[in-house]
Structure 1
Amino acid sequence: MPTHPEILWAQRSSDVDEAKNIIYLTVNLPDIKKDSMKYTLNPDKLTFQAVSGKDQEHAKDYAFEIEFFGEIDPEKSIPKLSTRAFDIKIQKKDKNAEYWPRLTKTKNHFVKTNFDKWVDEDEQDGNPVEDEFDPSDMGMGGGGPPGMGGGGPFGMGGGPAGMDFEKMMADMQRNQMAAGGSGSAADEEEESDDEGPPPLEDAESSK
């Protein structure tokens, strides 16, 4: 029997600007096998099924169906698949200044608030809508989205793709030695505070 994956969500609302009247929905499921994923986005509900796992031994079936609290516009909604999750920026059909009280018509304990994207209703005007969803990223008909191979725009070593970081540091040290310096600056490695996206916070079921 398929397992129900965790669903994270956040939203924005507007009674005048369609671009700010949206739902951010994340199926929090890493290593989705692209050729196994099937989803249907209807005006009133979303159905999803996929196999997830790094290899055949750990592969597992996932599936769910949720009915939205309000009506959405599937044609204007944008999906995005990555190695970490399946995301959809969902367009609410009716412009409304008020937030939906919850994502689904009935409470669902698999649905949780995405605090990384959530903004309180009275503070949303000062927070721009994230423009990270590009329809060309999804590649559902063939060719995976950027990052599916692992490195994305940065190589696995942590610097821009193609850059030999060790060689660069060695060259800097040689230049300092040639200039009469001790080279100690090259020996000090500065740790970066940015070690990737923070882990998703545990959240209570949305109300």
Structure 2
Amino acid sequence: MSSQVTPEVLWAQRSSASEPEKNYIYLTINVPDVPPSNLKLDLKPTGLTFTGTSDTKKTTYHLDMAFYDEIDVDNSKTHHTPANIQMVLRKKELKEEYWPRLLKDSAKVHWLRTDFDKWVDEDEQNEAPEDDYLNQFGGGAGLGEDGGFGGIDFSKLGGGAGAGLEGLGGDGGDFEGEDEGAEEGDDDMPDLEDDKEEGAEEGKGKGKDSDAA
């Protein structure tokens, strides 16, 4: 039987009193090696419930959380990767002030941490370069094979955006571009060695100056 654990959750936020698209929560649920077929995500205005099983890690992840305030489910987005579940949750109430915390309950929990890669202070958020990440997250790439969990839209992240992808689950080979880079590096190595051998041959009888050249 697989053990059941509460996954690590990272969060950050932005706020706006006039622009809904700038009034949201970044949420990352770190659940490596959980395929879409093995998970259930129920997102509601007041909170979310997640259950997912990793066959490779023999672990079932379960999360039940109540938000500090309501979100707009229809304008929130979710993306599943081999390492995690990434979410941009639209806050329902337009308000300049940040939420004082993510959860309704003020008690601290060990599995929730601030996502410092995305977090900016409230008075500096207008200068923060968060738009690139947000555009990639919801940048018009239609629904993927994941389909939708409870009507949630899935969009495609570009080029490994989002720090939550780094160092999790050992699934780097599943991301486009990484395998290509490794293959190119392997192909280059024999050429470099050949160049050194040729240089050594040419350098015979010419002294050390040819090596420096």
- 1:183, 1:82 → 2: CA distance? 49
Match of 1:40 in 2: 42
Structure 1, residues 28-73: CA drift from partner, whole Å, max 9, x if none? 22111321110111111111111125x2xx3111112111111101
Match of 1:140 in 2: 146
Q: 4+ residue stretches of structure 1 with deviation over 6 A?
A: 145-149, 180-185
Higher helix share: 2
Q: TM-score, normalised by structure 2?
A: 0.70
2:172–2:178 Cα contact (<8 Å) kept = no
**C-alpha distance 8-149 of structure 1, shift in aligned 2 (>3 A):** closer
Of 173, 192, 197, 1:150 maps to 173
Q: TM-score, normalised by structure 1?
A: 0.71
Of 165, 168, 174, 2:185 maps to 165
- 2:211, 2:176 → 1: CA distance? 31
Which of 1 and 2 has greater Rg? 2
- 1:86, 1:48 → 2: CA distance? 10
Secondary structure at the residue paired with 1:69?
coil
Structure 1, residues 170-201: CA drift from partner, whole Å, max 9, x if none? 446657848x686889xxxxxxxxxxxxxxxx
User: CA RMSD for the aligned pairs?
Assistant: 3.1
* Aligned: 1:72 with 2:71: yes
Structure 1, residues 122-145: CA drift from partner, whole Å, max 9, x if none? 111111322231364653239xx7
Match of 2:122 in 1: 121
- 1:62, 1:38 → 2: CA distance? 10
Extract unaligned runs of 5+ from structure 2. 149-155, 161-170, 204-209
Identity %: 36
